[in-house]
A = this chain, B = another copy of it.
Amino acid sequence: MTPDDATIAAWVALATTSRELLERAERALKSEGHPPLAWYDALLAVEKAGPGGIRPVALKDRLLLPQYGTSRLLDRMVRAGLLERRPCPGDARGQVIVPTAAGRAQRAAMWPAYARFLAAEIGERLDPGEAAELARLLDKLRGAAG
Protein backbone atom coordinates (compact mmCIF):
# COMPACT_ATOMS: atom_id res chain seq x y z
CA MET A 1 0.00 0.00 0.00
CA THR A 2 2.81 2.42 0.79
CA PRO A 3 4.28 3.63 -2.48
CA ASP A 4 7.91 2.77 -3.14
CA ASP A 5 10.67 5.35 -3.01
CA ALA A 6 10.93 5.81 -6.75
CA THR A 7 7.21 6.54 -6.96
CA ILE A 8 7.47 9.15 -4.26
CA ALA A 9 10.57 10.69 -5.82
CA ALA A 10 8.81 10.92 -9.18
CA TRP A 11 5.77 12.55 -7.60
CA VAL A 12 7.78 15.09 -5.65
CA ALA A 13 9.86 15.93 -8.71
CA LEU A 14 6.74 16.29 -10.83
CA ALA A 15 5.03 18.58 -8.36
CA THR A 16 8.02 20.80 -7.70
CA THR A 17 9.32 21.01 -11.25
CA SER A 18 5.97 21.78 -12.80
CA ARG A 19 5.29 24.44 -10.19
CA GLU A 20 8.62 26.11 -10.73
CA LEU A 21 8.56 26.02 -14.48
CA LEU A 22 4.99 27.24 -14.77
CA GLU A 23 5.85 30.03 -12.41
CA ARG A 24 8.87 30.98 -14.50
CA ALA A 25 6.85 30.85 -17.68
CA GLU A 26 4.26 33.22 -16.23
CA ARG A 27 6.97 35.59 -15.14
CA ALA A 28 8.69 35.46 -18.49
CA LEU A 29 5.47 36.51 -20.18
CA LYS A 30 4.39 39.05 -17.61
CA SER A 31 7.81 40.68 -17.53
CA GLU A 32 7.34 41.58 -21.17
CA GLY A 33 3.86 42.90 -20.58
CA HIS A 34 2.01 39.86 -21.91
CA PRO A 35 -1.12 38.22 -20.54
CA PRO A 36 -0.95 34.86 -18.71
CA LEU A 37 -0.01 31.55 -20.26
CA ALA A 38 -3.63 30.39 -20.25
CA TRP A 39 -4.46 33.14 -22.72
CA TYR A 40 -1.82 31.86 -25.10
CA ASP A 41 -3.22 28.35 -24.88
CA ALA A 42 -6.74 29.61 -25.44
CA LEU A 43 -5.75 31.74 -28.41
CA LEU A 44 -3.83 28.87 -29.93
CA ALA A 45 -6.71 26.43 -29.48
CA VAL A 46 -9.18 28.88 -30.98
CA GLU A 47 -6.93 29.62 -33.94
CA LYS A 48 -6.25 25.96 -34.58
CA ALA A 49 -9.97 25.28 -34.66
CA GLY A 50 -10.20 26.96 -38.04
CA PRO A 51 -12.73 29.34 -39.53
CA GLY A 52 -15.73 27.67 -37.92
CA GLY A 53 -14.51 28.65 -34.48
CA ILE A 54 -14.74 26.39 -31.48
CA ARG A 55 -17.41 25.66 -28.92
CA PRO A 56 -16.65 26.51 -25.30
CA VAL A 57 -17.49 22.93 -24.44
CA ALA A 58 -14.70 21.73 -26.68
CA LEU A 59 -12.34 24.39 -25.46
CA LYS A 60 -12.75 23.36 -21.85
CA ASP A 61 -11.61 19.84 -22.71
CA ARG A 62 -8.57 21.06 -24.59
CA LEU A 63 -7.55 23.49 -21.89
CA LEU A 64 -8.31 21.19 -18.98
CA LEU A 65 -10.41 23.88 -17.40
CA PRO A 66 -13.68 23.49 -15.54
CA GLN A 67 -16.76 24.73 -17.31
CA TYR A 68 -17.11 27.86 -15.22
CA GLY A 69 -13.42 28.55 -15.56
CA THR A 70 -13.75 28.47 -19.31
CA SER A 71 -16.77 30.71 -19.23
CA ARG A 72 -14.93 33.32 -17.23
CA LEU A 73 -11.69 33.09 -19.16
CA LEU A 74 -13.70 33.77 -22.28
CA ASP A 75 -15.41 36.69 -20.56
CA ARG A 76 -12.06 38.31 -19.87
CA MET A 77 -10.62 37.65 -23.28
CA VAL A 78 -13.72 38.94 -25.02
CA ARG A 79 -13.63 42.02 -22.82
CA ALA A 80 -9.98 42.45 -23.82
CA GLY A 81 -10.99 42.34 -27.45
CA LEU A 82 -9.07 39.16 -28.29
CA LEU A 83 -11.95 36.78 -28.90
CA GLU A 84 -15.48 37.06 -30.11
CA ARG A 85 -18.55 35.09 -29.09
CA ARG A 86 -20.89 34.20 -31.89
CA PRO A 87 -24.22 32.43 -31.84
CA CYS A 88 -23.76 28.79 -32.68
CA PRO A 89 -25.42 27.74 -35.91
CA GLY A 90 -27.55 24.72 -35.17
CA ASP A 91 -27.57 24.97 -31.38
CA ALA A 92 -29.28 27.97 -29.88
CA ARG A 93 -27.95 27.18 -26.41
CA GLY A 94 -24.41 27.36 -27.50
CA GLN A 95 -21.93 29.69 -29.01
CA VAL A 96 -18.85 29.61 -31.11
CA ILE A 97 -15.62 31.36 -30.28
CA VAL A 98 -13.47 33.00 -32.92
CA PRO A 99 -10.30 35.07 -32.61
CA THR A 100 -10.28 38.75 -33.47
CA ALA A 101 -7.43 40.29 -35.42
CA ALA A 102 -6.13 41.63 -32.13
CA GLY A 103 -6.31 38.12 -30.71
CA ARG A 104 -4.18 36.69 -33.47
CA ALA A 105 -1.75 39.55 -33.06
CA GLN A 106 -1.56 39.00 -29.33
CA ARG A 107 -0.70 35.34 -29.72
CA ALA A 108 1.92 36.11 -32.33
CA ALA A 109 3.42 38.73 -30.05
CA MET A 110 3.63 36.29 -27.16
CA TRP A 111 5.34 33.52 -29.06
CA PRO A 112 8.90 34.87 -29.10
CA ALA A 113 8.97 35.25 -25.32
CA TYR A 114 7.42 31.84 -24.91
CA ALA A 115 9.83 30.23 -27.35
CA ARG A 116 12.77 31.83 -25.61
CA PHE A 117 11.53 30.47 -22.32
CA LEU A 118 11.15 26.95 -23.70
CA ALA A 119 14.56 26.97 -25.33
CA ALA A 120 16.25 28.24 -22.18
CA GLU A 121 14.47 26.09 -19.63
CA ILE A 122 14.08 22.86 -21.56
CA GLY A 123 16.09 22.93 -24.76
CA GLU A 124 19.22 23.89 -22.88
CA ARG A 125 18.81 21.30 -20.16
CA LEU A 126 17.66 18.21 -22.00
CA ASP A 127 18.91 16.85 -25.28
CA PRO A 128 16.17 15.83 -27.72
CA GLY A 129 16.36 12.19 -26.69
CA GLU A 130 15.89 13.04 -23.06
CA ALA A 131 13.06 15.42 -23.85
CA ALA A 132 11.31 12.72 -25.85
CA GLU A 133 11.78 10.21 -23.07
CA LEU A 134 10.40 12.67 -20.54
CA ALA A 135 7.35 13.26 -22.70
CA ARG A 136 6.86 9.52 -23.06
CA LEU A 137 7.00 8.88 -19.33
CA LEU A 138 4.69 11.77 -18.55
CA ASP A 139 2.18 10.66 -21.14
CA LYS A 140 2.26 7.20 -19.71
CA LEU A 141 1.55 8.68 -16.32
CA ARG A 142 -1.34 10.70 -17.57
CA GLY A 143 -3.15 7.52 -18.39
CA ALA A 144 -6.70 7.56 -19.58
CA ALA A 145 -9.38 8.74 -17.19
CA GLY A 146 -9.60 9.49 -13.48
11 more CB-based (< 8 A) A-B contacts, given A10-B126, A15-B22, A137-B137: A3-B119, A10-B134, A11-B122, A13-B138, A13-B139, A14-B17, A16-B142, A17-B138, A20-B64, A24-B146, A122-B141
A116–B64 contact, CB under 8 A? no
- Bound: A140/B132 CA distance, A: 14
Residue of B nearest to A3 (CB): B118
**Which chain B positions have C-beta within 8 A of A9?**
131-132, 135
Residue of B nearest to A137 (CB): B134
Size category of the A interface is 35 or more
B121–A143 contact, CB under 8 A? yes
A125–B146 contact, CB under 8 A? no
Residue of B nearest to A136 (CB): B13
**Which chain B positions have C-beta within 8 A of A19?**
18, 64
**Which chain B positions have C-beta within 8 A of A58?**
none
